[in-house]
Amino acid sequence: MEPKIKIWRLHPQTLKRFVPHQHRDGYFRVADPTLGKVKHHAEHQIPVVSEEDLVAYIRRGYLCRMRGEETGQVNLIAASEIVTDAPGAASADPKASRTSPTSGVKTTSSMAMSLPPDLKPPASGLLPSHGRIACTDCFPGGTAEWGVSVAEGSGWRLTNNPMAWGGQNPRVLVLGFSKGGTQNDSILNRPHVEVAFRGGRHAVASILGTLGLMPSDRSIDELIADRDGDIAFGSLVRCSVSKLDRRSGRWVMSGSDIMGSCLREGAIGHVISNCTHRHLARLPPRLKLVILFGNNAGYVDGCFRAIAGVRPGLRKLNAVAYTDGAVTFVHVVHFKAQGGIVPNWCHGRPGQASHAERDQPLKRELALQAIQSGLTASS
């Protein structure tokens, strides 16, 4: 079928024509110019579903994987060299189409435009592919620039930077709450694989190992980078959430207060609803287990209510787990928990705490029981 949009590049010396290269998975690929020397690496390439979406990325200065019509050679081509006959889609200088966030406060750039739509999971319910996710559901008018645009109100701030790591068709999905300050540091320039759980990966590996989910021959870095792996990584809220501390006037991005209050306060409720609908309502059939970091009772209850809204029949198994019969959701200690809380969860003896809510070893045992129960039910 003749495409509606023509996108090409003529080699300046040979005048050979290049066209967008469609990979075996059916997607085109673009790359963020701000990633410098690593922008051509496969793990940083962003899949694009249609030529219309390619035009939108090219207008914002992204490079495009293109193939020589005669030679078959595939190269990463700068936006300034690409021509398209789409109305108003002239190539753009990346510097003119991007702005850098300053001190965490940024509005959309002067070239504000809607990102291409998210690569919605196909009928099989695959998770988002390893990379940046183009989604503007929570932003006014459906308009946002990835890593730059901010929606703010009622003491909450949402930065548009949804991401995914690991496999699209995994057996296990591992979710934090939202990217914290460490993960957000230099996020526009940092390689994608370095962002997830940055500053806490040793603890993540210890927790997953305690649950029997860490392969003996793989590191946590390898699991996070494996786009075809059996484990996927992300967050309950895929964008970054900040809450205004009215006493200090500072925006905070982590801590039990922000995790719990985000699930309680109506002002941010649409964000939770949008993310759970988009990313948890339909999961791959082979995915049987979701691990959520954070096992405070209030957070567990808040997540249960949010997920129950998109997965009918959800019922509690114990104080840290629930299931709908198809997928089991298990809460574990937060990987950034202070002091000896993570080692205590991993190796401590149940029954030593003065109160069950503080008994992390007991919560570990409940988590293990729930995982075993879920695996037995699905076998």
pLDDT exceeds cutoff 70 at 355: yes
Mean pLDDT of 150-158: 88
Mean pLDDT of 156-162: 92
Residue 176, φ and ψ in degrees, nearest 5: -85, -170
Do 235 and 272 touch, CB atoms closer than 8 A?
no
Would you place residue 119 in the very low, low, confident or very high pLDDT band (cuts 50, 70, 90)? Answer: very low
Mean pLDDT of 19-41: 85
In a domain, 160, yes or no: yes
pLDDT at site 94 = 32
Residue type (1 letter), 336: K
Would you place residue 5 in the very low, low, confident or very high pLDDT band (cuts 50, 70, 90)? Answer: low
**Domain end position, chosen among 63, 93, 123:** 93
In a domain, 102, yes or no: no
In a domain, 321, yes or no: yes
pLDDT at site 231 = 97
Residue 219's CB: how many other CB atoms inside 10 A? 12
pLDDT exceeds cutoff 60 at 116: no
We report the CATH number of the domain holding residue 310 as 3.40.470
Separation of alpha carbons 64 and 73, rounded Å: 13
Between CA 53 and CA 233, with CA 102 as vertex, the angle to 5 degrees is 55
Per the prediction, the chain carries an average pLDDT of 83
209 shares its domain with 272: yes
**Domain end position, chosen among 93, 119, 150:** 93
Q: Give the helix, strand, coil percentages of the chain, each rounded to 5.
A: 30, 20, 50
77 shares its domain with 181: no
196 shares its domain with 58: no
pTM of the model: 0.69
pLDDT at site 15 = 78
Q: How would you classify the pairing of strands 7-10 and 83-84?
A: antiparallel
The contacts of residue 122 (CB under 8 Å, 6+ apart) are: none
Range of the domain at 153: 131-378
In a domain, 275, yes or no: yes
295 shares its domain with 237: yes
pLDDT exceeds cutoff 60 at 115: no
Residue 162's CB: how many other CB atoms inside 10 A? 26
pLDDT at site 104 = 32
pLDDT exceeds cutoff 50 at 238: yes
Separation of alpha carbons 341 and 100, rounded Å: 37
233 shares its domain with 324: yes
79 shares its domain with 145: no
Per-range mean pLDDT, top range of 86-95, 146-155, 305-314:
305-314
Separation of alpha carbons 146 and 337, rounded Å: 29
pLDDT exceeds cutoff 50 at 259: yes
pLDDT at site 89 = 37
* DSSP label of 105: B
* Cα–Cα distances in angstroms (integers) from residue 168 to residues 47, 63, 65, 149, 226, in the given order: 13, 24, 22, 26, 10
324 shares its domain with 243: yes
Mean pLDDT of 223-243: 95
Residue identified by tokens 């030679």 is 71
211 shares its domain with 318: yes
Separation of alpha carbons 175 and 294, rounded Å: 10
Mean pLDDT of 141-167: 90
pLDDT exceeds cutoff 60 at 268: yes
pLDDT exceeds cutoff 60 at 135: yes
pLDDT at site 193 = 93
In tens, the pLDDT along 309-334 reads: 999 999 999 999 999 999 999 999 99
In a domain, 109, yes or no: no
Alpha-carbon Rg for the chain in angstroms: 22
pLDDT exceeds cutoff 90 at 213: yes
**Domain end position, chosen among 39, 63, 93:** 93
Per-range mean pLDDT, top range of 121-125, 178-182, 183-187, 215-219:
215-219
87 shares its domain with 155: no
Q: Which has the closest alpha carbon to 304: 315, 318, 290? A: 315
Q: Residue 26 is encoded by which pair of tokens?
A: 């059916």
**Residues of the chain with pLDDT > 70: what percent?**
85
Higher pLDDT, 106 or 270: 270
217 shares its domain with 75: no
In tens, the pLDDT along 45-91 reads: 888 878 887 888 888 788 999 999 888 999 999 988 888 765 443 33
Total domain count, the chain: 2
